[in-house]
């Protein structure tokens, strides 16, 4: 006859209870673990320039204000979370079902009703008041801005105009225009006018400001003070079509003297090293580019800018003045190297799906030799004295992508006469 000891009997009673409780508490344990992982992630985050797309590394007073609100809300939410979870755990353990009797019903507890109305109301006020104050302060700051920049959202790149800086000194040639790199002098209190003539885009440089849309028919404003010299990464933050994710840009904040040098280089750019306004140096193949691209100081200046539409019914492309001095091409997709320029010219639509720039190479309108000429010409588009900021800094690995084009870039055509169009007919198919 089997005879159980006292301890065995106790274990037999307690074990099911324990496993039952464990099952109930499992979700709580998982939640707690998840919270710890998230907090550990926050703690380990490097809140500086190494996180160029993080709103947690503010570099202007504006983003610091936003960060302050965020931090305050985070801690308030954490307190609420902990208190609510503790109350749940306490309730689950203290009032768990022990028998089949209904527990005491407490409908209409005045104390509970008042508590759970007043506490959230106070919490919401604590969040609302500083938030609204910040919104008004930022709106007020727009009035103090004195450095104008116009940004036009295109599919899928950015046109940057400086309405108060002429394209060439002392001329009536219109404003200085560039693309995909917003260059600013340190300390500038900038007011951006954000515009679009196509779809809605959103201008977002996480470290410098919150995001603001570019709406057709609107003229939205965005202000910040470019406090710190540096390179800041921006993205289009509103879905705007197929290549939305490849609509990147940079904001470069330079010391005043370097900014002045950049402007001077832009204004005096001959459109080619050592005198590209010499039209003899512009390859004939560049003719197909003229419809959409302007180069200051040359006769390549028929493409329309800003909100104007191109007479040929196609969307104009980026201004190419001093192109060789930019860090990236294709709106932040590729590092600006001769190899990538060749890739861009020969596999345009594969590099950037949906791009409006036609692939003239694939269409057979330019051959390998002409691609070479174009690469040579485009990489020579810098001031006679070299780029004002030298060399192009190229790549943050987060920023410059290795694109996923599957096939090889066509090799450069042989330097001497052997590489003429007739010798490589297959390249034009």
Distance of alpha carbon 335 from alpha carbon 92, whole angstroms: 58
205 binds ligand CUA (CB under 6 A): no
Distance of alpha carbon 113 from alpha carbon 105, whole angstroms: 15
| Residues 388-407 interacting with ligand CUA (rule: CB under 6 A) | none
CB of 245 to ligand CUA, least distance (A): 8
374 binds ligand CUA (CB under 6 A): no
427 binds ligand CUA (CB under 6 A): no
| Residues 216-245 interacting with ligand CUA (rule: CB under 6 A) | 236, 238-240, 244
CB of 354 to ligand CUA, least distance (A): 12
Among residues 145, 177, 247, 254, the one that binds ligand CUA under rule CB under 6 A:
247
Cα 116 to the center of its chain, rounded Å: 41
Instruction: Compute CA distances 408 → 192, 207, 335, 339, 394, whole Å.
Output: 41, 37, 17, 11, 22
Distance of alpha carbon 196 from alpha carbon 217, whole angstroms: 7
CB of 311 to ligand CUA, least distance (A): 24
95 binds ligand CUA (CB under 6 A): no
CB of 25 or CB of 215, closer to ligand CUA:
215
Q: Where are the beta strands (DSSP E) in 239-378?
A: 248-254, 328-329, 334-335
CB of 156 or CB of 192, closer to ligand CUA:
156
Strand-pair partners of 249: 234
Distance of alpha carbon 340 from alpha carbon 66, whole angstroms: 38
Among residues 201, 293, 326, 389, the one that binds ligand CUA under rule CB under 6 A:
201
Residues written for the chain: 429
Strand 147-154 to strand 189-196: parallel, antiparallel, or no bridges (unpaired)?
parallel
347 binds ligand CUA (CB under 6 A): no
CB of 201 to ligand CUA, least distance (A): 3
Distance of alpha carbon 36 from alpha carbon 358, whole angstroms: 51
CB of 312 to ligand CUA, least distance (A): 22
Please name the residue that has the structure tokens 């710190």: 228
CB of 236 or CB of 341, closer to ligand CUA:
236
Q: Write each residue from 259 to 288 as x if it is in contact with ligand CUA (CB under 6 A), else as -, in one continuous string.
A: ------------------------------
62 binds ligand CUA (CB under 6 A): no
- Residue 258's nearest CA partner among 188, 167, 360, 171 is 188
CB of 241 to ligand CUA, least distance (A): 7
Cβ-count burial of 370 within 10 angstroms (0-12 exposed, 13-18 middle, 19+ buried)?
buried
CB of 373 to ligand CUA, least distance (A): 32
Max Cα distance, the chain (Å): 113
Distance of alpha carbon 243 from alpha carbon 352, whole angstroms: 7
CB of 181 or CB of 369, closer to ligand CUA:
181
Strand-pair partners of 160: 151, 178
CB of 236 to ligand CUA, least distance (A): 3
| Residues 138-167 interacting with ligand CUA (rule: CB under 6 A) | 153, 156
CB of 146 to ligand CUA, least distance (A): 28
Q: Binding residues for ligand CUA, per CB under 6 A?
A: 153, 156, 201, 236, 238-240, 244, 247
């Amino acid at each position: 006859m089997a005879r159980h000891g006292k301890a065995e009997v106790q274990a037999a009673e307690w074990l099911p209870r324990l496993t039952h409780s464990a099952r109930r508490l499992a979700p709580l344990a998982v939640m707690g673990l998840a919270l710890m992982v998230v907090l550990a992630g926050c703690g380990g985050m490097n809140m500086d320039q190494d996180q160029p797309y993080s709103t947690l590394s503010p570099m202007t007073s504006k983003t610091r204000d936003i960060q302050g609100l965020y931090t305050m809300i985070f801690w308030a939410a954490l307190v609420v979370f902990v208190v609510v979870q503790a109350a749940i755990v306490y309730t689950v353990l203290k009032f768990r079902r022990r028998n089949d009797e209904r527990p005491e019903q407490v409908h209409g507890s005045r104390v509970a009703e008042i508590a759970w109305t007043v506490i959230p109301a106070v919490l919401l006020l604590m969040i609302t008041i500083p938030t609204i104050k910040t919104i008004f302060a930022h709106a007020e700051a727009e009035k103090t801005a004195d450095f104008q920049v116009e940004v036009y959202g295109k599919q899928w790149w950015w046109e940057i105009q400086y309405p108060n800086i002429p394209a060439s000194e002392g001329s009536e040639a219109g404003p200085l225009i560039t693309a995909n790199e917003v260059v600013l002098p340190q300390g500038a209190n900038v007011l951006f006018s954000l515009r679009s003539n196509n779809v809605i885009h959103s201008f977002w440089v996480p470290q410098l400001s919150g995001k603001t849309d570019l709406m057709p028919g609107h003229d939205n404003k965005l202000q910040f003070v470019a406090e710190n010299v540096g390179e800041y990464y921006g993205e289009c933050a509103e879905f705007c079509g197929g290549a939305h994710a490849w609509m990147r840009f940079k904001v470069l904040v330079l010391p005043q003297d370097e900014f002045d040098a950049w402007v001077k280089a832009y204004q005096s750019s001959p459109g080619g090293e050592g005198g590209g306004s010499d039209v003899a140096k512009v390859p004939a193949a560049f003719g197909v580019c003229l419809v959409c691209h302007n180069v200051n100081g040359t006769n390549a200046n028929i493409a329309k800018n800003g909100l104007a539409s191109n007479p040929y019914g196609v969307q104009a492309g980026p201004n190419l003045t001093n192109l060789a001095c930019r860090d990236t091409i294709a709106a932040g997709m590729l590092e600006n190297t001769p190899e990538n320029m060749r890739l861009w010219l020969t596999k345009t639509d594969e590099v950037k799906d949906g791009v409006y720039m036609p692939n003239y190479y694939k269409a057979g309108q330019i051959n390998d030799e002409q691609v070479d000429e174009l690469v040579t010409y485009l990489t020579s588009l810098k001031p006679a004295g070299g780029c004002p900021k030298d060399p192009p800094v190229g790549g943050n690995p987060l920023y410059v992508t290795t694109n996923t084009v599957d096939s090889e870039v066509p090799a450069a055509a042989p330097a001497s006469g052997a590489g003429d169009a007739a010798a490589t007919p297959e390249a034009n198919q």
